[in-house]
Amino acid sequence: MILPPTSYRKLTPFLIVCGLLGGVVLLIELMLLFGWVAGSMVALLPLCVLMGVALSLRPYFAMWLFILLNYYIMGLSRYLPLKSGMMMMGFALLLLCLILLNQMFRKISWRNGLTSLTLFWGGWLVYCVVMAFLPGGNFDAWLIAFNGYALIPFLLALLLPILFHRYRDLKLLILAFSILTLTAMGKALCQKFIGFDTAEKIFLYVNGGARTHLIWSGTRYFSIYTDAGNFGSAMAMAMVVCSIVALYVHKGWRIYYLCVAALAAYGLGMSGTRSAMIIPFMGYLTYVATTRRWKIIFVGVILLLGCFVFFKYTTYGQGNSMIRRMRSAFHPTEDTSFQVRMNNQARLRYIMAEKPFGIGMGLGGGKAKRFDEKAITSWIATDSWFVLLWVEMGWVGLSLYMLMHLLIIAVGGWKILFHIRDPQLQGLLVALLAGVAGMWAGGYANEIMNFPNGPMVCVFEAMIFAGPRMDRALRSGTADADSQPDWML
């Protein structure tokens, strides 16, 4: 018997309810058989397949998912047994495959991705590939390091301008970054006022995190990051970016971005990361150097000098633990941890005297214990991103790396100053450049260019170098410009 169409419509709610109940029963059964983690993963497999099909049709949304996953991956790995580095490498390569697949159905503007930034990171990628053949190196360690050191930055420099080529994409990215910052701050506030959860207590009391996070001067909060150093550095960058963005947006959004910047500044204080103080100083100095607004230059110089004098030569606010810890960054010779770092660098200098190309990628600091417990460098903390690169890639690799980033900042600043005419676009790009410059300066004091900070900095760099094309689209009035005022900024 064939049912009339009205009968099908009546059956639809019943079938949906039955399907949902069946899915719940299946999920419970899988959890009982394989555990809640594995069971959930198996149950979500069909959804993942559907999502994969959808993302293959729209790589643009896959890039947004990559940015989202990058921000939370280290926090998730505290609760789930994830291979975070391999996952992000696989996702980055998947992005490349999706774009190549879409080449079969629509025209891909590869010219958008062929910028000088791609050239810089491409050259560095080639050098890192050569490092795989360094005598005494370890291929497994090299592969893990190669992912974050060169592969992901190169793919972001190439692919992000292809997918995010409109002015609207830049504004959405800044808005998304501010929202991600608020979520990180929310977690840190939960740690402060509610307490640490079970996984965080395991990190502190079982894995030794309490030694550096529960100290005499107070608790150093770390939010969704691996440690307080990375959290504080991320908040410092967010403070710089959002405070500068606030100068170039409409009144309502100005208040929003200033609030985000203020919360990020509070997060910097909660982290107790003294060395991260270099990030706002270098960031705002970069902004002052690249803006053409003389009032801002004058006020910026006065404020920077005022902050330096306040922390360096006064004792006001010494009773506040946050101010006291920040002030200690301006008196490094009186800081015990700074002296320990100098002693470690002196020991490393003796070891590295005859190793101009380093000991091998992925073998610096505590990471070496995984591959060679007897390696002498595995017992000496590097405590700095630049020192880590020096140990792994020698003075040759470190020099090339620093030269590359000096070029990135210099060329990026040149493009913003002399190739961008739209004042708001110029201001937003300067904000990103200031954040990038601050983070690279902070790399001297902490190993902060891992996930999620490192890829996020590379995303900002890619948007800076995509800026001139956005500006040309704005001036020509093409569809890609999306220059009409909208709700975003």
As a whole number of angstroms, the distance between CA 392 and CA 361 comes to 5
DSSP string computed for 394-449: HHHHHHHHHHHHHHHHHHHHHHHHHH---HHHHHHHHHHHHHHHHHHHHTTTS---
Q: Which two three-digit tokens encode residue 290?
A: 């690249």
398: Cβ–Cβ under 8 A, 6 or more apart, which residues? 386, 389, 390
- Cis, peptide link before residue 332, omega less than 30° from 0: no
- 3-class SS of residue 315: coil
Domain ranges of the chain: 48-476
CA distances from 408 to 294, 402, 457, 474 (A): 25, 10, 12, 24
As a whole number of angstroms, the distance between CA 148 and CA 85 comes to 7
54: Cβ–Cβ under 8 A, 6 or more apart, which residues? 61
Q: Are strands 214-215 and 218-219 parallel, antiparallel or unpaired?
A: antiparallel
- 3-class SS of residue 292: coil
- 3-class SS of residue 17: helix
- Please report, as a single letter, which amino acid is at residue 98: L
Q: Which two three-digit tokens encode residue 132?
A: 């795989």
pTM: 0.84
> Where do we find the tokens 């996952």?
87
377 close to 348: Cβ distance less than 8 angstroms:
yes
- 3-class SS of residue 476: helix
257 close to 214: Cβ distance less than 8 angstroms:
no
Residues in the chain: 489
> Where do we find the tokens 């970016």?
241
- Which residue from 457, 429, 442, 445 is spatially nearest to 381, judged by alpha carbons? 445
- 3-class SS of residue 363: coil
Q: What string of pLDDT tens digits covers the 489 residues of the chain?
A: 444 445 434 544 555 555 555 555 555 555 555 555 555 555 555 555 556 555 666 788 889 989 999 999 988 888 888 788 888 888 888 888 888 877 777 777 888 888 999 999 999 999 999 998 888 778 888 888 898 899 999 999 999 999 998 999 999 999 999 999 999 999 999 999 999 988 889 989 988 888 888 887 778 899 999 888 899 999 999 999 999 999 999 888 999 999 999 999 999 988 888 778 889 989 998 998 888 777 777 777 787 788 878 777 777 777 776 777 777 667 666 666 667 777 877 888 888 888 888 888 888 776 667 776 666 676 777 778 888 898 888 899 999 999 999 999 999 999 998 889 899 999 999 999 999 999 998 888 788 888 889 999 999 999 999 999 998 888 887 645 554 434 344
Q: What are the two backbone dihedrals, phi and then psi, of residue 226, each rounded to the nearest 5 degrees? A: -70, -30
Radius of gyration of the chain (CA): 24
As a whole number of angstroms, the distance between CA 148 and CA 487 comes to 35
Q: How many other C-beta atoms are found inside a 10 Å radius of the C-beta of residue 21?
A: 10
